[in-house]
Amino acid sequence: MKRYLIPFFLIFVLCAACDNASNNNEKAEKISLDEIIQKIPGLRVSDTLATLPGYEFCYEIYFTQPLDHQDPSKGTFEQRMYWSHKDANMPMVMETEGYNIRKNRLTPVNEILEANQLMVEHRYFGKSLPDSLDYDYLYIQQQIDDYHRIKELFSKVYNKEWISTGFSKGGENTLIYKSKYPNDIAVAVPEVAPIILSNEDERTTAFLDTVGTDQCRQKLIDFQRTCLENSDFFLPQIEQEAKEKGYKYTTVSPLGALEYAVLEFTFAFWQWGYGKCEDIPVDKSDLQAYYDYLKYISPVSYFKDRPHAFDRKSPPSSAIMHQREYGYYAFDRKNIQDLLVAAPNATNRTFAPKEVDIEYDPSYIAEVNEWLKDNGNDIIYIYGAADTWTGCAVNPTQNVNALKFMVPGGSHSTRIRDLNDAQKEEVIKYLEARIDGSISRDYIEKSKSLPKVK
C-alpha cells in the first residue's frame, strides 16, 4: 500500500476526555497525532485505514522491534499493527494476533468497551518479516516480549488500563502474555484459546469420542470409512484438480493426502461447526456426494506441498512454532487404522519444513498452564462446547478469580456475543471491577444483531 508523510497542517487535534480521577470538570490536555508519534520512538505511520465509527483515526502503522529482546545488537524488524485511536484518556485494547492481521475491526471485547485499540501482527507473519528468514528468533517468548515493549512505549500516551484479547492461537498468546507480564494487563479476554501440552495432544482425540451424539459420531466414522474404501473413485478427481491448479503432492502422495484429509475430517467437522449431522452423506451409490462433502469440510488440497521454508510470500512460520513450542493436535486413527495405506502413522510433523532445525520442547507451555491454573486472575475465558480445540481448554482452579464460559453447541467461531444476556452482564461487571469508569449496557441488546463470526 502507498506510504506517505502526514503534513502538520492536516493533523487533527485530538480531544481528551474528562479526567474523572481528579476533577470531572477539568479537561485533559489535548494531544495531536504528531505529538503521539514523537512520544513513541520507532513508530511509523504507513497508511490510512477506514475509520471505525466513533473513532478519531485508524492507521496501519509499523513499530521497530529488536529481533532478539535479550540482545538488541542482533538487528531489528518492523512489526505491523492496526491502530484505532479514540481518546488518550480511555483504556487500550491490544489484540494479540496468532498470525497475520487482516481487516481492521472492533475486537469482540471492544464491542463492549469501545476503547482505543491495537491489533498486533505476529512476528514472522504477514508483513512483520525480518530481512532474513532464518527463524532463529521465532520463539514464543520473543513475541511476548514484543507485546510487552509495545505496552511500555505506547503507555507514554495511553496510560489507562490495558486489556488483551485474541482468539485461537492469538488467544493462547493472550494467556501466555498474561502469565509472563501479569501487571501489564488489567484483564485478559482469550476466546477459544487452547493450551496444548504436547506435539500430538491426545486430549483432542478424547474430545472427539464424546462430542455430539452416538449416532452422529457413528455417521462420521461411516463417512470416513466409505471415503477410504473408495479411494479409486476419489484419486482421479484429486489428480485432475492438482493438474488444473498446479498443486504438487510429493511430501505425501495423492493417496496420502486423501488419507490425511479423511483423518482431519472429524476434527474439522466439530471445530468450525460448518457441518451438520443430518447433512453427512449416507447413500453409498452417490460417491460424488462423499467427495464433495469431504472437500467442503476437509479439502484434500490442504495437504499439498507447502512453500519452501524461505518463501517470503508464504513462510511456514505456524508449522515451525507448533512443532517447536506450541504443540498440536493428534490425528484420531483408531476407527480407520485398518484402511490407512499411505499414512498409517499420520502426524502433523510430516508437514513441518525440513530446511529448519525443529526440536519440540513442551516445557514453556507446561509452565504457562500451571501458572494459569493457580495464579491466572483477571481472565475471561470463552469456549465453544463443540469445538475440538476445547479438548485443550484451560481449567482454572478455585484459587483464581477468573470467569470461564462454555457456549452450548459453540464452535471455534464462538465469541462474547454468543453468550446469553446474563453472562454478558457478568462479563460487563467483571470488566467494570477492573477498569475505571462504568460500561454501557447497550451492548447486550446491540450484540443480538451482530453477525456470527465465520
Q: Which of 262, 249, 227, 202 is nearest to 351 (CA)?
A: 249
What is the Cα–Cα distance from 204 to 329, expressed in whole angstroms?
Answer: 6
Q: Pairing between strand 13-14 and 31-32?
A: antiparallel
Q: How confident is the model at residue 29 (pLDDT cuts 50, 70, 90)?
A: low
DSSP of 409-445: T--TT--GGGS-HHHHHHHHHHHHTTSSS---THHHH
Write down the mean pLDDT value for the chain: 92
Give the pLDDT of residue 450.
Answer: 85
Read off the pLDDT of each residue in 422-434 and give the average, rounded to a whole number: 97
Domain ranges of the chain: 32-197+364-449, 203-351
Asked whether the predicted pLDDT for residue 6 surpasses 90, the reply is no
The C-alpha cell that represents 254 in the structure block: 495423492
Question: Over pLDDT 90: what percentage of the chain?
Answer: 85
What is the Cα–Cα distance from 415 to 407, expressed in whole angstroms?
Answer: 9
What is the Cα–Cα distance from 330 to 63, expressed in whole angstroms?
Answer: 37
Read off the pLDDT of each residue in 148-164 and give the average, rounded to a whole number: 98
Give the pLDDT of residue 451.
Answer: 82
Neighbour count for residue 381 (Cβ, 10 Å) = 23
Q: What is the pLDDT of residues 392-414, one digit of tens each?
A: 999 999 999 999 999 999 999 99
Q: Which of 77, 76, 35, 43 is nearest to 60 (CA)?
A: 43
What is the Cα–Cα distance from 22 to 26, expressed in whole angstroms?
Answer: 8
Q: Which of 217, 238, 339, 242 is nearest to 294 (CA)?
A: 238
Topology of 32-197+364-449 in CATH? Answer: Rossmann fold (3.40.50)
Give the pLDDT of residue 7.
Answer: 40
Q: What is the pLDDT of residues 237-270, one digit of tens each?
A: 999 999 999 999 999 999 999 999 999 999 999 9
Q: How confident is the model at residue 31 (pLDDT cuts 50, 70, 90)?
A: confident
Give the pLDDT of residue 310.
Answer: 84
Asked whether the predicted pLDDT for residue 5 surpasses 60, the reply is no
Give the pLDDT of residue 12.
Answer: 35
Q: What is the pLDDT of residues 98-132, one digit of tens each?
A: 999 999 999 999 999 999 999 999 999 999 999 98
Asked whether the predicted pLDDT for residue 416 surpasses 90, the reply is yes
Asked whether the predicted pLDDT for residue 352 surpasses 50, the reply is yes
Give the pLDDT of residue 22.
Answer: 42
Largest distance between two CA atoms of the chain: 77
DSSP of 191-247: ES-----STTBTHHHHHHTTSS-HHHHHHHHHHHHHHHHTHHHHHHHHHHHHHHHT-
Give the pLDDT of residue 274.
Answer: 86
